[in-house]
Amino acid sequence: MDIITIADLVVFYHVGVPADERAKAQRLLLTVEMETDFSSCAASDDVEKTVDYYAVSRRLLKMGEGRSWNLIESLAVEMAESLLSEYQLKAVTVEVKKFVLPETRYVSVKTSRRA
């Protein structure tokens, strides 16, 4: 299989267990690895035969509009399942990085789903 990666896409979502943490959108980084097959698009050099990573990035940027989550785990699972159902993927891995603990560079969760 072949993989398309969107690395460290900056999004602003309302996430956090306490309501005051969710009140303001916070910066998160998303890394998405999408497993697919490049055979058809490579042979034809046709963007219609691959996963449009620009469209995926726009989808992820808008996903947080008017929404909130308590857990980044819930967000990651929802995102993975959504991408798997909306795009022609064999599998997807989503990592969400959150900058909440001052003693660390970040906290992250990672989840994978298969078609």
What the chain holds in terms of domains, given with CATH numbers, is 2-114 (3.30.1130.10)
Read off the amino acid at residue 35: E
pLDDT tens readout for residues 31-85 = 999 999 999 999 999 989 999 999 999 999 999 999 999 999 999 999 999 999 9
pTM: 0.94
Distance (Å) of CA 7 to CA 22, 26, 33, 58, 90 = 24, 18, 8, 14, 19
